[in-house]
Amino acid sequence: MPIHGWTRVHAGTFHHFHHSWIEEIARALNRGLLPRSYYAMSEQITGGLGPDGLTLNLPVQGSLAAESAPDGIALAAAPPKVRFRARGQIDIYARKAKAVVIHHRSGHRVIAMVELVSPGTKGSQTELSTFVQKAEQALRGGVHLLVVDLFPPTPRDPRGIHRAIWGRDCEGDFALPDDKPLTCVSYVGFPIPEVFLEPVAVGDALPDRPLFLTPEVDVPVPLEATYRSAWEALPEVWREVLTAPPANGRKKPGRGRKRKE
């Protein structure tokens, strides 16, 4: 299924789709993609990456060091096929911010997060800066990330969401191609940040992307299959808007009121 042009509808429409997609991703991961020690939940995390973080948790009684290696795809054996890969060169220990470890009320700790960027994320400089800071803190705290941004760059992130997160102090200066301005990007967190980025465009099929459980092991997230399931649950009126041929000068539905003559 092709990626749709979500700028054609209101933020509230994508917000509805966004929640459905997050739920579909959680279901897919819990239905056998994750090792038994892990589980996925869609929940709000105060102080986390934002209100829509999908979290993967490991019971606090266990530890990655004590358990056998988690089932998944070994990075060395099958590296993800991406357009851009780089390893961070920053000295994490020199950063002033402390590592962020997010705890749930249950006492389980966060291992990784999936974030689907919404229009509100880039709606103001304050919101974007908050998102970027939380992403940076998560990576320094050892939380691995998968970020999917189906919205083109804005004046606030002219080089895309990845460059806003990755900053200027890391290896590589990957520029999004003009014909592929959207982003699917996987990050390995502390101790050595690493990025695996694949640019996409409206009309492309979403590729499965790795979500890292450890710096060496990841599981593939079925983005296209879960996107399709969420799409099928979207109200028909909005599916028609998103699949209609573009018309020059046509306004987005629902904008403004007709002036009385």
Host domain of residue 188: 6-59+80-243
The yes-or-no verdict on residue 90 having pLDDT over 90 is: no
Structure tokens at 219: 């599981």
Give the residue, 229 or 85, on which the prediction is more confident. 229
Overall average pLDDT of the 126-144 stretch? 87
Q: How far lies 62's CA from each of 38, 59, 100, 189, 212, in Å?
A: 11, 6, 19, 20, 18
Q: Name 154's Cβ contacts closer than 8 Å, sequence gap at least 6.
A: 122
Residues 128 and 111: their CA atoms lie apart, in Å, by 23
Residue 128: inside a domain: yes
Q: Is the pLDDT of residue 119 over 60?
A: yes
User: What is the overall mean pLDDT for the chain?
Assistant: 76
More confident residue, 63 or 112: 112
Q: Where are the beta strands (DSSP E) in the chain?
A: 39-42, 54-58, 73-74, 84-87, 109-116, 144-149, 182-188, 194-200, 209-212, 217-221
Find out whether 117 and 147 touch, Cβ atoms under 8 Å: yes
Q: Is residue 255 part of a domain?
A: no
Q: Answer whether residue 92 is part of any domain.
A: yes
135 touches 147 (CB < 8 A)? yes
State the pLDDT at residue 24: 93
Domain total of the chain: 1
Residue 249 pLDDT > 80, yes or no? no
Q: What local confidence, expressed as pLDDT, does residue 257 receive?
A: 42
pLDDT band at 203 (very low <50, low <70, confident <90, very high): very high
Asked if residue 2 has pLDDT above 70, the reply is: yes
Contact status, residue 227 vs residue 206, Cβ threshold 8 Å: yes
Q: What angle do CA 12, 14, 19 make, to 5 degrees?
A: 100
Mean pLDDT for the stretch of residues 38-67 = 59
Please indicate whether residue 254 or residue 180 has the higher confidence score (pLDDT): 180
Task: Name the nearest CA neighbour of 233 among 7, 15, 17.
Answer: 17
In a domain, 220, yes or no: yes
Q: Look at residue 85 and tell me if it is in a domain.
A: yes
* DSSP letter string, 173-211: -PPPPTT--EEEEEEE-TTS-EEEEEEE-TTSBPPPEEE
Question: Considering the domain boundaries, does residue 250 fall inside one?
Answer: no
Whether 67 is in a domain gets the answer: no
